[in-house]
Amino acid sequence: MRDLRDWISLLEREGELVRVAAEVDPDLEITEIVDRTVKAGGPALLFENPKGAQHALLINQFGTERRMCLAFGVERLDDVARKVSDILEMQPPSGLMDKVRGLQKLKSVADSRAHSVRRGPVHEIVLQGDEIDLSLLPVQRCWPGDPAPFITLPAVITHDPRSGTRNVGMYRMQVIDRKTTFMHWQIHKDGRADWLATEGRIPVAVALGLDPVTAYSASAPLPKHIDEFMMAGFLRGEPVELVKGVTVDIEVPAHAEIVLEGYIEHDELGTEGPFGDHTGYYTAQEPFPVFHLTAMTMRKGAIYPSIVVGKPPQEDAWLGKATERIFLPAVRATVPEIVDYDLPVAGAFHNCCIVSIKKAFPGHASKVMHSIWGLGMLSLTKCVIVVDEHVNVHDYEQVMFYAGANVDPARDVVLAEGPLDHLDHAPERQFIGGKLGIDATAKWVEEGARPWPQEIEMSPEIRDLVDRRWSEYGIGSVPAARNGGVGQTERSLRQLLRR
Ligand SMILES: Cc1cc2nc3c(=O)[nH]c(=O)nc-3n(C[C@H](O)[C@H](O)[C@H](O)COP(=O)(O)O)c2cc1C
Ligand SMILES: [Mn+2]
């Protein structure tokens, strides 16, 4: 998919999009409609007549697992992860065929770099000076306590002034007036680091309305030196095309619907917020830098993309789940004893991480907890629950079973300290606080346990027998037997979202 329009056509062909012709207000009304639609597992919505604006608004494009898979062109999100692990787990080639395959893989990485092109539809309309007007766009005021409309699905492009490396991040932008917004660069983020490293003004470009993979990439927690557009090119199998900005020395996606160009001063801060955020609470007012627009460029009939965050589950659940799946190979490349992990949507992603491990030595669970607390953005995780490899981390009832049955709180709970999410309101001090680790693995004698009892399992012969004879019993349909027996009512994320 080259752009947002290809994506909208695909969604329409797949019966995944509804056009709303009625006039609907971007001030709160759209939020309530979307909140209900997301929680019902409903379609993407294209509001064709947002009140008071010149442009249509697309929302809930990422709101289900099926749409997320359509976006990446896969059957399951784990298939995207496989593509990543293929590269990460490359071994030295052992024969000619291996070499050829290896070279093909390396070429697919080399071909992922963004391409520069001379012209792009994003410059069909160029507004400068007094023509710049953010009120042309149907920017949503999402929640009643929000003081202003917020741009919620931007890809914010900056460059590191020292290395020149590009960064693309998704950071909300509170509208101040026709030509200015805040830039919500949280303390751990790459865009903020670029800003702080720049003396005077940092040029900034904001792309709105992209193909879904490129839009997703702006939310991906990549190490700072890795260009998110390169990752997008790799995952799309086709490079992102970029064109020079009109008033800034930054390349912008040639097929974006809208681009906002401008700059941010090193020393100009204002009071941003409050904002009804993905924590489920309003985040407090805080000083954040001010973004001044120097140009607003668009395609003809540009479509404005938006997203609403709030109490989970919301549309961003699936952006988070995509990250969870796509980054598993990278997590395992660093901590290979990890089998799988799950960041519950209800835990707003950074509040809880359930991780299963191949336990090989006493204290192994504790080692893995500290690994999580040392890994990229996972370091912000507040609570880590470690289970043995046979436990399904996505089955929260099963996890609760082991967290209850296998834990002696006097022995198996680790309390530590470390950095916390910028938006976490619970700790005594902002940015730093406690960490909780729960070791729910089976304990070894060396770990101070008595000999561990055997888990109850039915024998496979009896299971097969009952499977074969089931209809004879006349009981009706009953779920098939499953290992472990607990968690019969496994609540997958899909069910949670469709309750
Ligand atoms: C819908 C949505 C909104 C987000 N809003 C913000 C935000 O306002 N500020 C922020 O620092 N991160 C926000 N994030 C998270 C960042 O996009 C994410 O941490 C990303 O990795 C940042 O890019 P970076 O690692 O290059 O800094 C948001 C994520 C999503 C999915
Ligand atoms: Mn980054």
pTM of structure:
0.94
- The answer to whether 207 and 253 have CB atoms below 8 angstroms apart is yes
Averaged pLDDT for residues 39-62: 97
Give the Cα separation of 112 and 84 in Å (integer).
13
- The two structure tokens encoding residue 111: 């071909």
Nearest-atom number in ligand 1 for the CA of 189 is 27
Give residue 9's pLDDT: 98
Ligand number with the minimum distance to the CA of 170 = 1
Task: Using the predicted structure, report yes or no on whether residue 483 has a pLDDT greater than 60.
Answer: no
Give residue 86's pLDDT: 79
The DSSP-derived string for 11-53 is HHHTT-EEEEEEEE-TBTHHHHHHHHHHHTT--EEEEEEETT-
Nearest-atom number in ligand 1 for the CA of 377 is 19
Ligand number with the minimum distance to the CA of 315 = 1
Q: What digits encode the pLDDT tens for the residues 73-132?
A: 999 999 999 888 877 777 777 888 888 888 887 788 888 999 999 999 999 999 999 999
Q: What digits encode the pLDDT tens for the residues 2-44?
A: 999 999 999 999 999 999 999 999 999 999 999 999 999 999 9
Is residue 277 among the annotated active site residues?
Answer: yes
Give residue 237's pLDDT: 92
- Percent of the chain whose predicted confidence (pLDDT) is above 90: 89
**Rounded to the nearest whole angstrom, what is the distance from the C-alpha of residue 365 to the centroid of ligand 1?**
30
Give residue 85's pLDDT: 82
From 58, 165, 171, 214, give the residue whose CB has the most ligand 1 atoms within 8 Å, as the site to mutate: 171
- The answer to whether 183 and 192 have CB atoms below 8 angstroms apart is no
Give the Cα separation of 157 and 207 in Å (integer).
8
**Rounded to the nearest whole angstrom, what is the distance from the C-alpha of residue 418 to the centroid of ligand 1?**
20
Task: Using the predicted structure, report yes or no on whether residue 340 has a pLDDT greater than 90.
Answer: yes
Place of tokens 């290809």: 6
Give residue 488's pLDDT: 38
Task: Using the predicted structure, report yes or no on whether residue 432 has a pLDDT greater than 80.
Answer: yes
Q: Which of these is catalytic: 277, 316, 340, 395?
A: 277
Indicate if the alpha-carbon torsion angle 291, 296, 297, 300 is positive or negative: positive
Place of tokens 């730093």: 432
- The two structure tokens encoding residue 128: 């400068």
**Mean confidence (pLDDT) of the chain:** 94
The DSSP-derived string for 188-220 is T-HHHHHHHHSSSEEEEEEEES--HHHHHHTT-
- The answer to whether 484 and 398 have CB atoms below 8 angstroms apart is yes
Burial environment of residue 39 by CB neighbours within 10 A (0 to 12, 13 to 18, 19 or more): middle
Task: Using the predicted structure, report yes or no on whether residue 482 has a pLDDT greater than 70.
Answer: no
Instruction: Give residue ranges with CB within 6 A of ligand 1.
Output: 152, 167, 169-172, 184-186, 189-191, 219-221, 307, 309, 316, 319
Place of tokens 């900005």: 245
**Rounded to the nearest whole angstrom, what is the distance from the C-alpha of residue 169 to the centroid of ligand 1?**
6
Place of tokens 């002696």: 408
Residue 10 corresponds to which amino acid?
Answer: L
Task: Using the predicted structure, report yes or no on whether residue 192 has a pLDDT greater than 80.
Answer: yes
Q: pLDDT grade, residue 469 (50/70/90)?
A: very high
Tell how strand 352-357 and strand 383-388 pair up. parallel
**Rounded to the nearest whole angstrom, what is the distance from the C-alpha of residue 193 to the centroid of ligand 2?**
10
Give residue 499's pLDDT: 41
**Rounded to the nearest whole angstrom, what is the distance from the C-alpha of residue 217 to the centroid of ligand 2?**
9
Nearest-atom number in ligand 1 for the CA of 167 is 26
- List, in order, residues 6 or more apart from 207 with CB less than 8 Å away: 154, 155, 157, 252, 253, 256, 258, 259
Give the Cα separation of 441 and 388 in Å (integer).
5
Give residue 364's pLDDT: 98
Give residue 265's pLDDT: 98
Specify the residue with its C-alpha closest to ligand 1, atom 6.
Answer: 171
Find the range with the poorest average confidence among 86-100, 245-259, 339-353, 380-394.
86-100
Give the Cα separation of 161 and 264 in Å (integer).
13
Specify the residue with its C-alpha closest to ligand 1, atom 22.
Answer: 169
Specify the residue with its C-alpha closest to ligand 1, atom 12.
Answer: 171
